[in-house]
Structure 1
Amino acid sequence: MNPSLFECAVAATAFKLLLFPAYKSTDFEVHRNWLAITHSLPVEEWYYEKTSEWTLDYPPFFAAFEWTLSQVARLFDPEMLKVENLGYDSIQAVYFQRLSVIFTELLLVYALHKYIRTTSPFPRGHLLNKFRYIQTSPETTKRSSYAAALSILFSPGLLIIDHIHFQYNGFLYGILLLSLVLARDPKNHPTQLLFSGISFAALLCFKHIYLYLAPAYFVYLLRAYCLGESIVDIKWSNLIKLGGSVLAVFGVAFGPFVYWGQGRQLLARLFPFSRGLCHAYWAPNVWALYSVLDRVLIIVAPKFNLPINATALHSTTRGLVGDTTFAVLPPIHPRTTFLLTLAFQLLSLLPLFTSPSPTNFLSAVTLSAYASFLFGWHVHEKAILLILLPFSLLALKDRRYLTAFRPLAVAGHVSLFPLLFTEQEWAGKVVYTALWLLVFLTTFDRLAPAASGRRAWLLDRFSGAYIALGVVVVGYASGVHGWIWGGRWEFVPMMVVSAYCAVGVLGSWVGFSYLYFVA
């Protein structure tokens, strides 16, 4: 008998409790500092405080979230709430912050519960059918929705980023998943679309990275909730309710700061374009491949008399965080990344506009995440979850989708390995990720229905070869390079991992785009 989602959540929590002494990144200090800022200072000073280099740079709802946590944190250790206590990490502080991630992640568990319930068919007369939100889906079975939910619950990405490296993505993705679930049945429950839009607006006020998904939400809610069968058939009542609700959410979040004349300061904190193009080599996107190509061209440039920008030889294309300059290739500007991202996002919105189905909506959300990750400015490696989580809900649609999902699952998780660079965590991250890939990709392969059309033969071969190559890449980056070269070429392993993962994400995007636009 399969364990329930609740039993799995308890088991996952027990495992996460064992990780309390594990490595923690500077993000631990970031959030401790934000606890101190929001607890110790008046609201109007939150976005000006700069005692620490880790200044508050999330939207106001997340700042309020930190303030709420700080009311409990003072019961654990009041010293952690002093702004001047930089780098403070007492046992009490560590336990509180680790526990706060686990506790707030319960929202994700609830969202997964809702996801399973709204996709699982129940017998006629079943008690759960009496609730309005319960709907059966012909595309999904109880077993497949359960498997997809467990793959997210036990995600190595969330484990590495939240429970070791340290962040609150489980809580935030819980809001996103709830919003996606609410948007799944627009014909029978149109009011849920309104709540979907409201919850997504609230999510944007928690973390603005979700702006990447906003175009898909805008088009879907406009077509499915605000317009009738024709684009000239405007449902004014729905338009006013949705527009007013979204404006109200943003008004509550940003209104006070605009009233205090802090709008410009807040925007400067939220959108620091002074940062470079690449967030080191760890984000596996187009610009990582561009950076690798630049380093290769430096070697061959003398043979072909190519000009070299000498000041760029020690830039962030070597794997460090900072401004990015290129030695041989032309520079990339923020406007270029914005236009590329917008262009590919707009392409994905065309089928959604003409056919605003829940499946097309989830596909457009996934493709919007792909475009922003692959072509965006200063993309963090952790943003791969923006693609992985919504795609997880589509991976079992049929075997072609699963084939496109496989390289993403491998690349997305392997790309997070450099976040945990200490020896103590090496075995844990590799073994846990390998087990997750083995269990869930095997399970998905067994559950995914046969494709309704011609199988993507080339993508299937690419997927198999790519997974096999991953073993070689991880082995080389983890030890073989050091054994061969010692301390020389210290950034090559990171370059190899980044390039390998970028190829996987790019190949997955191509395959998914083919299925969305052509198949």
Structure 2
Amino acid sequence: MAASGAVVGGGGRGGRLGYLSLALGVSLLKCLLIPAYYSTDFEVHRNWLAITHSLPVSQWYYEATSEWTLDYPPFFAWFEYALSHIAKVFDPEMLNIQNLNYASPKTVLFQRFSVIFTDVLFIYAVYECCKCIEGKKAGKELTEKPAFILSILLLWNFGLLIVDHIHFQYNGFLFGLMLLSIARLFQKRHLEGALLFAILLHFKHIYLYVAPAYGIYLLRSYCFTANKPDGSVRWSSFSFLRLIALSFIVCFVSALSLGPFIALNQLPQIISRLFPFKRGLCHAYWAPNFWALYNALDKMLSIIGIDDKWFGSAIPTCSPALCDSISNPHLYCDSHVGPRGFLRCLIVCALSSFMFGWHVHEKAILLVILPMSLLSVGKPQDAAIYLLLTTTGHYSLFPLLFTAPEFPIKVLLMLLFTVYSFSSLKTLFRKEKLLNWMETIYLIGLGPLEICCELVFPFTPWKLKYPFIPLFLTSVYCAAGITYAWFRLSISLLPGPAVGKAKLQ
């Protein structure tokens, strides 16, 4: 691994100060966003504060005064419980279960600052990931430049800024746990990486998407102590003691999280809250994935009169079991190529689950974009896929911020982040052409799409009769780009020559 001092902006203390300056700058920006619009997720988390503070543990997963019931794993419930003891100092009324949609100024300040403060873990995790960057040569410039770019791509990520600090969620510290676990695996601290990921799963179960990559990589790289020259495992080197150590970590964390609820015979109730399959295949706002294209095709076929009398639609519907089978990419997880291969498999797991999963939310694209940032500074092919994913995926989040005051904010922030992403990666791979003409035209097309959806459509007579058209166009257009990126990323798993200026060890 590269020397710890050579991280961002210079070696040793200067590098750390430069990194802290970047972190402080984005934290100040988050403070400026405090008065911005917030979504129903703000009330969701206020309600969870009230539930965990006011009720005994035995009632947490049964309480249903609000429609926003507790549906995250137990560690997140305990996280809300811990926050609630600080919240009561700000405004005890926010902890009253009956105070639905309560949002006093002190409540807003507390909830906003709680997200900003817990992002400290994300800041530390990004720092650790930057330490895993090394240059092709020993020169300072090659070592520091990719790490500096990576730090900005992660710390100033547009999607994370608007989802957490405008829309309102706590993704920052959760992604901090994931990035820190990835960094520990790159540093060959396998047990620590496994522990962090196990804890993460019991904070938010969406990270089950990438569990296959973790499981197979840990078995291959940690439980097998030697590999053959072709990368395959030596069965004689399998260590049962190491397998027991990994199993103990998983069982211990699971027992700590679920144990109290198993003792209360509430495990089925928790599972029903965590996996509400009755919600339907697609979220109200279609995530830009395969099902958006599938549904669009169904609508078009229905319009021209093609309607299947057995299925009630032009094309067959899908079940949760089928979604799980086609989105579970175990075959991708051949991670004998080392930590970088593990990271690539993790990203494909996340993107495949986003593409084909049941009731996927549009915000889940961040589970792909953030780890993809680590690959983007290593190879030009990965940088190209990253630019496609991050531009299209971030634009697909625009409908989350639909109020007029946030329009210039989201446009300006995305433009700044996108321009930096393109310019910095183009500078890093100056001898490579990152995007072809077709990809370039597709991304340019996001501009006219935004003008039509935000500036033209509201003044047309179709607004009242067809209010869903902007969401429909955004989901389908972005789904085409993300599907294309998924194909390119899947193909990148095939063996090929390593190319690039920087790599993750």
TM-score (norm 1): 0.87
Note the C-alpha offset of 1:372: 0.3
Is residue 201 from structure 1 mapped to residue 198 from structure 2 by the alignment? yes
Contact 1:396 1:449 (C-alpha < 8 Å) held by counterparts: no
Over 3 Å counting, the alpha-carbon distance change for 1:410 and 1:378 in structure 2 is: same
Deviations 1:114-138 (A, max 9, x none): 1222325799xxxxxxxxxxxx999
What is the SS of the residue equivalent to 1:7?
helix
Instruction: Give the one of 164, 187, 201 matched to 1:185.
Output: 187
What is the SS of the residue equivalent to 1:141?
helix
What is the SS of the residue equivalent to 1:516?
coil
What is the SS of the residue equivalent to 1:336?
helix
Note the C-alpha offset of 1:511: 1.2
Is residue 418 from structure 1 mapped to residue 415 from structure 2 by the alignment? no
Note the C-alpha offset of 1:422: 0.7
Deviations 1:82-124 (A, max 9, x none): 111111000000000000000001100011111222325799x
Contact 1:37 1:81 (C-alpha < 8 Å) held by counterparts: yes
CA distance in 2 between counterparts of 1:417 and 1:235 reads 49
Deviations 1:256-293 (A, max 9, x none): 10011001011111111111101134410000111111
Instruction: Give the one of 442, 462, 470 matched to 1:466.
Output: 442
**Alignment partner, residue 322 of structure 2:** 336
Amino acid at match of 1:116: C
Contact 1:404 1:463 (C-alpha < 8 Å) held by counterparts: no
Deviations 1:275-312 (A, max 9, x none): 110113441000011111112112211xxx54479xxx
Note the C-alpha offset of 1:449: 7.0
CA distance in 2 between counterparts of 1:450 and 1:45 reads 61
Note the C-alpha offset of 1:185: 3.3
Contact 1:282 1:418 (C-alpha < 8 Å) held by counterparts: no
Amino acid at match of 2:284: A
Contact 1:33 1:83 (C-alpha < 8 Å) held by counterparts: yes
CA distance in 1 between counterparts of 2:345 and 2:369 reads 14
Over 3 Å counting, the alpha-carbon distance change for 1:11 and 1:417 in structure 2 is: same
**Alignment partner, residue 490 of structure 2:** 513
Is residue 409 from structure 1 mapped to residue 413 from structure 2 by the alignment? no
Contact 1:121 1:141 (C-alpha < 8 Å) held by counterparts: yes
- Higher mean alpha-carbon deviation, 433-442 vs 92-101, is at 433-442
CA distance in 2 between counterparts of 1:296 and 1:5 reads 51
Is residue 97 from structure 1 mapped to residue 81 from structure 2 by the alignment? no
In the TM superposition, 1:461-500 aligns within 5 A as: 461-487=437-463, 488-500=465-477
Note the C-alpha offset of 1:461: 2.9
CA distance in 1 between counterparts of 2:413 and 2:308 reads 46
Instruction: Give the one of 409, 412, 420 matched to 1:428.
Output: 409
**Alignment partner, residue 162 of structure 1:** 164
Amino acid at match of 2:33: L
CA distance in 2 between counterparts of 1:137 and 1:48 reads 59
In the TM superposition, 1:301-316 aligns within 5 A as: 301=305, 306-307=307-308
Over 3 Å counting, the alpha-carbon distance change for 1:326 and 1:492 in structure 2 is: farther
Per chain length, whose mean CA-contact separation is higher, i.e. which structure has more relative contact order (CA < 8 Å, sep 6+)? Answer: 2
Aligned residues: 474
Note the C-alpha offset of 1:141: 2.7
What is the SS of the residue equivalent to 1:517?
coil
Note the C-alpha offset of 1:384: 0.3
In the TM superposition, 1:234-253 aligns within 5 A as: 234-253=238-257
In the TM superposition, 1:39-78 aligns within 5 A as: 39-78=53-92
Aligned Cα RMSD in Å? 2.3
Residue ranges of structure 2 left out of the alignment (5+ in a row): 1-7, 10-16, 227-233, 497-505
Note the C-alpha offset of 1:356: 4.3
TM-score (norm 2): 0.90
Contact 2:94 2:103 (C-alpha < 8 Å) held by counterparts: yes
What is the percent sequence identity of the aligned residues?
42
CA distance in 1 between counterparts of 2:236 and 2:349 reads 26
Residue ranges of structure 1 left out of the alignment (5+ in a row): 124-135, 187-191, 310-324
Over 3 Å counting, the alpha-carbon distance change for 1:326 and 1:502 in structure 2 is: farther
Contact 2:132 2:187 (C-alpha < 8 Å) held by counterparts: no
What is the SS of the residue equivalent to 1:200?
helix
Amino acid at match of 2:101: G
CA distance in 1 between counterparts of 2:402 and 2:290 reads 24
CA distance in 2 between counterparts of 1:242 and 1:14 reads 40
What is the SS of the residue equivalent to 1:394?
helix
Over 3 Å counting, the alpha-carbon distance change for 1:36 and 1:86 in structure 2 is: same
Amino acid at match of 1:238: R
Contact 1:47 1:57 (C-alpha < 8 Å) held by counterparts: yes
**Alignment partner, residue 421 of structure 2:** 440
Over 3 Å counting, the alpha-carbon distance change for 1:165 and 1:237 in structure 2 is: same
CA distance in 1 between counterparts of 2:32 and 2:397 reads 20
Amino acid at match of 1:493: P
**Alignment partner, residue 223 of structure 2:** 226
Contact 1:16 1:163 (C-alpha < 8 Å) held by counterparts: yes
